[in-house]
């Protein structure tokens, strides 16, 4: 096995420490979402590629279990790459969203949408608003666990990072993401659903570091998932996050 470079490792530790401190300071600017899951509580994650890949570099789930060590929480990830609020194709006999939610019986649903939809620009915004409202109403009003409807928490897409090279400028997409994030916040407020603005916080994070946190502008690296996971944890009021 080749020797590890100790300086590279120490630089990584220093980088994550500085960014972790920055994340906590950012979170202090906004009031955390009320999140207090019951013992044996069940959490289901739905949404796009961001949601699906949480299970591959799942720092957020680690923060969750560390913050509630005695709650015996169960997390199930139903995220699917490319999913949109009104477009979720599945293989034959996979089961509908309602069937899968009924099987997993969530007390909480974490929903991640908006990245793909934002590519439709201003023309797609009215349809997105309507589809998002319908989707949230559908998943938040049925008692999937047989007792009470779940608490849905809606998360915005992250910022489209500028990483240069041969990739196009993200400016146009970021303008669309900002507009879609604003619309998501409006719909969530109207439906009394908690909302976490990952777009604004990840923008501040990415603008403070020279190390790319994505590998193509919109999909996070492992370090990116750790740091954005800390943003998510801070937004839900977790204690003791960071390095």
pLDDT for 240 equals: 75
- In the chain, how many H helices and how many E strands? 8, 5
pLDDT for 9 equals: 42
Walk along the chain (243 residues) and give the pLDDT tens digit of each residue: 445 555 444 444 444 444 444 444 444 456 789 999 999 999 999 999 999 999 999 899 999 999 999 999 999 999 999 999 999 999 999 999 999 999 999 999 999 999 999 999 999 999 999 999 999 999 999 999 999 999 999 999 999 999 998 999 999 999 999 999 999 999 999 999 999 999 999 999 999 998 999 999 999 999 999 999 999 999 999 987 764
Question: How many Cβ atoms from other residues are within 10 Å of residue 33's Cβ?
Answer: 17
pLDDT for 10 equals: 43
Rounded distance between C-alpha atoms, residue 22 and residue 16, angstroms? 10
The residues with which 99 forms a beta bridge, in sequence order, are none
Choose which CATH entry (3.50.50.60, 3.40.50.1110, 3.40.50.300, 3.40.50.620) describes domain 39-235.
3.40.50.1110
pLDDT for 116 equals: 97
Contact 217, 167 (CB under 8 A): yes
pTM for the whole structure: 0.88
Q: What is the pLDDT of residues 79-103, one digit of tens each?
A: 999 999 999 999 999 999 999 999 9
Domain coordinates in residue numbering, the chain = 39-235
> 185 exposed, middle or buried (CB, 10 Å; 0-12, 13-18, 19+)?
middle
Which of 214, 192, 242 lies closest to 28 in space, CA to CA? 242
Instruction: Give Cα separations from 125 to 47, 203, 232 (angstroms).
Output: 18, 21, 25
pLDDT for 241 equals: 75
């Amino acid at each position: 096995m080749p020797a590890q470079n100790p300086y590279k490792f120490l630089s990584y530790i220093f980088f994550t420490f500085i960014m972790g401190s920055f994340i906590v300071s950012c979170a202090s600017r906004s009031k955390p979402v009320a999140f207090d899951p019951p013992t044996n509580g069940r959490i289901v994650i739905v949404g796009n590629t961001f949601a699906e890949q949480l299970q591959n570099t799942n720092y957020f789930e680690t923060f969750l279990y560390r913050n509630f060590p005695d709650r015996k929480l169960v997390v199930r990830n139903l995220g699917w790459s490319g999913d949109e609020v009104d477009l979720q194709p599945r293989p034959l006999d996979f089961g509908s969203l309602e069937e899968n939610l009924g099987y997993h019986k969530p007390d909480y649903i974490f929903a991640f949408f908006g990245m793909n939809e934002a590519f439709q620009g201003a023309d797609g915004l009215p349809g997105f608003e309507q589809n998002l409202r319908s989707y949230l109403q559908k998943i938040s009003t049925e008692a999937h666990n047989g007792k009470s409807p779940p608490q849905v928490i809606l998360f915005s897409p992250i910022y489209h990072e500028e990483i240069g090279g041969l990739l196009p400028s993200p400016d146009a997409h970021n303008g669309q993401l900002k507009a879609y994030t604003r619309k998501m916040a409006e719909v969530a407020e109207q439906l009394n659903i908690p909302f976490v603005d990952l777009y604004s916080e990840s923008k501040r994070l990415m603008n403070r570091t020279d190390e790319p946190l994505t590998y193509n502008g919109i999909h996070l690296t492992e370090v990116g998932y750790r740091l954005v996971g800390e943003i998510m944890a801070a937004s839900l009021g977790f204690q003791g996050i960071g390095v």
